[in-house]
Amino acid sequence: MNIANHIERGHLLFPEKIALIFEDKSFTYSHLDRLVNRVANSLQGLGIRRGDRVALFLPNIPEFITSYLGILKIGAIAVSVNVMLKSSEVSYILHDCAAKAIITTELGSLEVLEADLPELQHILIAEGSAKKGISLAQLIETSSPNARAVKMDRHAPASIVYTSGTTGFPKGATLSHGNIISNMYSQNRCCGMQANDQLLLFLPLFHCFGQNAILNAALNTCSTLVLQRRFDLTQVLNAIATHKITMFFGVPTVFIKILNSDIPQQTFESIRYYFSAAAPMPIEIAQIWQKKYGKVIHEGYGLTETSPCACYNHDLKYKLGSIGAPIENVEMKIVDADDHQVQPGELGEIVIRGPNVMLGYWNRPFETAEVIKNGWLYTGDIGRMDEDGFFYIVDRLKDMINVSGFKVYPTEVENVIYQHPAVAEVAIYGIPDSFKGEIIQANIVAKSGKEVTEKQIIEFCRQRMAVYKIPHVINFVDSIPKNPTGKVLKRVLRKQSNLNSPLLPIN
C-alpha cells in the first residue's frame, strides 16, 4: 500500500477531471500526478531514499501537495513544519527528525539555519527566488513525469506531524501509511464524499486536519479541491459562489466568524455538508447555525496522534453537543484515574484504540509509552459517554481549573457565556491565586455594535451556574489568540494574564 495510490487512481479513472484549483490555476488529475512524479524523481536524483525525512515548510500552495505526494511515492517520510515557526523552532524540528532535505519558500528559507543542521543536505525553494538553495521548479523541469508509488508495509512511517508543543518541546507524531489510509476511507464514508464534490480547503496543510481529513480524503474520492492560502472571509465567499462549493470544513472559530458577519442564507445554497473539528463546538453556536442556515454542523473528534479522526457525529443519528461515536474499527472508552472504565454519564479520560493510532512519537520511546498503554492511546481529554454510546467532550485535562478544590471545566462556562446576546467569542482559563489555588478568568470579544459590562456578565452567569464556576476576572478584548487551525491558545492567555486585575465580587 501507499497513500499516493489515490492520485494515481484519479489519473487513471478521471485524467481530465479538475483535481485542484488554486487562485488562477487549475490542475487536472493527470497534470497533478505528472507533477508529483517529477518531484518524486527529482528527490531520488538528489539521493533521497526510502525512510529519509523530507521537511515541508510551506504555506497552502500547490507545491505543498505535489511535494508531499512525491515524498510518499518514493517511500520517504514527509515532515510537516508549521509555517509560523521561527529559526530556533525550525532548527529543533529539523534536527529532531534528522531531515535530509527541506522544501520551503524564499521567505521560509531565512528561518533555516544550515550551520545548526549537519544532517540537512538540500534546501529546495518552491516559491520566490532561490537565493538560498535550489529552485524546485527548475529541478523538476527536466525530471521524468512517469513514476509509480512504491509498495509500503502498512506499518511503514509515512508522515511526521509535530504537535504544537503546549507542554514543552514539540513531539513528532509518526503516522503510518496504514494509519492515514484507514482514516481517509472512514472520512469518506462518514462525510459521504463523492467524486462530484467541490471541497474548500483553507485550513493549514501542515496540520493533520487539513492534510488527512480534507486533502487525502478528497483525493481518495477523486473530488475537486479548491485551495486557499488561509481563511479570509471575503475570499471564502467568493470561492463558494465561483466554484459552487458543496462541502465546507472548518473549526468553531470559522463558524463563529461567519455567524457574526450576518451572511444571508442564500450565499451557502450550494453547500450540502458542514464539518467542524480541532476544538469543541459551543452548543449555542451549533444551534444558532442550524436555525439560521438550515443544516447541522457535523462534528469530528480526534488528535494528531489518531491521524486525526477517531469519532464522528454522525452518519446515522445526529446528537447536538456530542462528538458522536467511534468510526469503524476504532474503539473508545472513558476511564478513571485508576484506569477503570466508568459507567455511562460519568466523567473520565478518553482513551482510543484502533488502526488510526500513531506508531509513536519520533525517537521518543519514553513519551510514547506515557500515552500508548496496551494499545490504548490516552488522549488527555476529559469526556463522558451516554447510554447510546455517544461521546461528549468536557475539556482538556490540563485546562481544568481547580477553584478551592472544585473542578471547573472551561468549556462548560464558555457554553453558558456564548448564550449572552452581546458575546461574539469567549475563552475561559485558570490563573494562580494564593488563596483559592486558581481563579477563573474570561476573555470576551463583544459583538460589533453591542455593549456589555463585567457586572452584566457576572449576573448572567449567576443565574445559570454554580457560584464557584463564575469568572472572577473578565477582560474585554479585541481578539483571542489562536493557533493556525483556530484552536484557542489557553497557554498564551495564561501567560498574558494580568494578576493585578481587580477581582469582581461574586460571593
Residue by residue, DSSP assigns 245-270 as: --EEEE-HHHHHHHHHTT--GGGGTT
- Please indicate, yes or no, if residue 370 is contained in any of the structural domains: yes
Query: How far lies 93's CA from each of 65, 112, 198, in Å?
Result: 20, 11, 34
- Please indicate, yes or no, if residue 175 is contained in any of the structural domains: no
Residues 6+ apart with CB under 8 A from 64: 56, 58, 126, 205, 206
Specify the 3-state DSSP secondary structure of 376. Answer: strand
Residue 334 · residue 342 · CB < 8 Å: yes
* 264 and 236 within one domain: yes
Residue 192 C-alpha cell reads as 459521504
Number of domains forming the structure of the chain:
3
Distance (Å, rounded) from C-alpha 440 to C-alpha 432?
9
- Please indicate, yes or no, if residue 1 is contained in any of the structural domains: no
* 450 and 323 within one domain: no
* 239 and 211 within one domain: yes
Residue 97 C-alpha cell reads as 527528525
Distance (Å, rounded) from C-alpha 44 to C-alpha 149?
13
- Please indicate, yes or no, if residue 168 is contained in any of the structural domains: no
Q: Which domain holds residue 108?
A: 29-152
In CATH, what number is assigned to the domain containing residue 325? 3.40.50.12780
Regarding pTM above 0.75, the answer is yes
Per-residue pLDDT tens listing for the chain (507 residues): 999 999 999 999 999 999 999 999 999 999 999 999 999 999 999 999 999 999 999 999 999 999 999 999 999 999 999 898 889 889 999 999 999 999 999 999 999 999 889 999 999 999 999 999 999 999 999 999 999 999 999 999 999 999 864 445 789 999 999 999 999 999 999 999 999 999 999 999 999 999 999 999 999 999 999 999 999 999 999 999 999 999 999 988 899 899 999 899 999 999 999 999 987 888 999 999 999 999 999 999 999 999 999 999 988 899 999 999 999 999 999 999 999 999 999 999 999 999 999 999 999 999 999 999 999 999 999 999 999 999 998 887 788 888 877 778 888 899 899 999 999 999 999 988 877 778 999 999 999 999 999 999 999 999 988 888 999 999 999 999 988 777 888 888 988 875 444 444 554
* 137 and 107 within one domain: yes
Distance (Å, rounded) from C-alpha 240 to C-alpha 216?
21
* 405 and 378 within one domain: no
In CATH, what number is assigned to the domain containing residue 487? 3.30.300.30
- Please indicate, yes or no, if residue 14 is contained in any of the structural domains: no
- Please indicate, yes or no, if residue 409 is contained in any of the structural domains: yes
* 343 and 226 within one domain: yes
- Please indicate, yes or no, if residue 223 is contained in any of the structural domains: yes
* 246 and 206 within one domain: yes
Residues 6+ apart with CB under 8 A from 292: 259, 265
CA torsion sign for 117, 121, 125, 130 is positive
* 203 and 296 within one domain: yes
Residues 6+ apart with CB under 8 A from 475: 441, 442, 443, 444, 498, 501
**Any bridge partners for residue 273, and if so which?**
247
Q: Which alpha helices (H) appear in 14-86, and where do they start and end?
A: 29-45, 62-73
Distance (Å, rounded) from C-alpha 477 to C-alpha 475?
6
* 406 and 386 within one domain: no
Q: Which alpha helices (H) appear in 349-482, and where do they start and end?
A: 365-371, 410-417, 454-462
- Please indicate, yes or no, if residue 20 is contained in any of the structural domains: no
